[in-house]
A = this chain, B = another copy of it.
Amino acid sequence: HTTSMEKVPDFLKGGTKVIDLSADYRLKDPAVFKEWYSVPHQQPALLKDAVYGLPEIHREKIKSARLVANPGCYPTSITLALAPVVTEDWVDLSSIIVDSKSGISGAGRKASLNTLFSEVNEGVSAYNIAVHRHTPEIEQELSALAKTNVQISFSPHLVPMTRGMLSTVYINLKHDKSVENLIEHFQKFYAEEPFVRILPLGEYANSHFTLSSNFCDIGVQVDKRNRRAIITSAIDNLIKGASGQAVQNMNLMLGISETTGLNFPGIFP
């Protein structure tokens, strides 16, 4: 972070197209950037040009973009889980709660006490509840989709595994809705998507099945007693949550098949 803020303008001047994996160009509003990242944005004008690189939402804009801001791993799993419903009038947009679980590799490869094997092994922990920097990015995308201001409560957690991420999303329904109906709604929304798989009735997302692939698996459940939808969404944080999505964006920007280089099924076990 912040390094990209400085270097990107030079690349663009030279005519190079840029896919930025940092957070520097993800937020449209420089004031929101300053609020969450504590420093003023140095290139506010460029923020308007940057396209948020979630192909399932911004495919057409990505194709012609010169600067794509590749989403964070949490925002990818969460936005894909919520995009099909935040546009609907039968959900309560003020009720969104997101509980995410991530493998340790999300913390990067720097020597640190917190990510030592013996510290994180055999323990699950919460961190940065309600203050994680991926929050504004998620809210920006959900608000744009919903065409109204959307705020969420976001709680990230660390689980003792290298790769993989699962987000469990809670949203209140204004009317009764069957789980079959909701699954069908998700299937239609993502019918043409090569990398989103809607799980059948009774199955919940499991990050193990997305390991080392560019897939996002989404499971849909309804808590009838409390009229809530509970959506689980799993990705490999290093692929669909980072480099795989960057390749997907690059394919779109180059006008080649979107799935080029990404046609692998993942590994199991």
Q: Is the CB of B161 within 8 A of A207?
A: no
Q: Are B122 and A122 in contact (CB under 8 A)?
A: yes
Give chain B nearest CB distance to A194 CB in angstroms: 20
Q: How far does the alpha carbon of A170 sit from the alpha carbon of B76 in the complex, in Å?
A: 23
Take A130-B222, A152-B226 as given contacts and tell me if A269 and B118 are in contact as well, using a CB distance cutoff of 8 Å: yes
Contact B104 A118 (CB under 8 A): yes
Q: Is A230 in contact with B160, judged by CB distance below 8 angstroms?
A: no
Whether B221 and A130, one on each chain, are in contact in the complex, defined by CB atoms closer than 8 angstroms, is yes
Is A191 among interface residues, defined by CB-CB distance under 8 A? no
Q: Digit string of A119-140 for contact with B (CB within 8 Å is 1, else 0)?
A: 1111111110110000000000
Is A206 at the interface (CB under 8 A from chain B)? yes
Q: A105-B269, A112-B111 are in contact. Are A126 and B161 (CB under 8 A)?
A: no
Cα distance A264–B212 in the bound complex, in angstroms: 12
A124 touches B267 (CB 8 A): no
Docked pose: A170 CA to B212 CA in angstroms: 32
Chain B residue numbers with a CB within 8 Å of A110 are 113
Contact of A118 among B105, B170, B222 (CB under 8 A): B105
A side interface size, CB within 8 A: 65
* Chain A interface mostly: mixed
Say if the beta carbon of A164 comes within 8 Å of chain B.
yes
In the complex, the chain B residue whose C-beta lies closest to that of A211 is B122
The interface bits of chain A over 228-269 (1 if a CB of B lies within 8 angstroms of the residue's CB, else 0) are 101010100000000000000000000000000000100101
**Contact (Cβ within 8 A) B208 A119:** yes
**A187: B residues at CB distance < 8 A:** none
Kindly state the separation between the CA atoms of A116 and B123 in the bound complex, as whole angstroms: 15
Tell me if B118 and A109 are in contact (CB < 8 A). Answer: yes
- Measured between alpha carbons, how far is A63 from B181 in the docked complex, in Å? 51
Sample 12 A-B pairs with CB under 8 A, ordered by A number.
Answer: A97-B97, A101-B157, A101-B159, A115-B118, A118-B162, A122-B122, A122-B208, A125-B234, A129-B230, A130-B223, A159-B160, A170-B170
8 shortest interchain CB distances as A-B pairs: A123-B208, A125-B206, A126-B204, A130-B223, A118-B269, A99-B99, A159-B159, A104-B117
User: Contacts A117-B162, A118-B162 given; 4 further ones with Cβ under 8 A?
Assistant: A122-B208, A123-B211, A125-B207, A126-B219
Where the two chains meet, the residues of A that have a C-beta atom closer than 8 Å to any C-beta of B are: 94-95, 97, 99, 101, 103-105, 109-113, 115-127, 129-130, 151-153, 155, 157, 159-166, 168, 170, 204-209, 211-212, 219, 221-226, 228, 230, 232, 234, 264, 267, 269
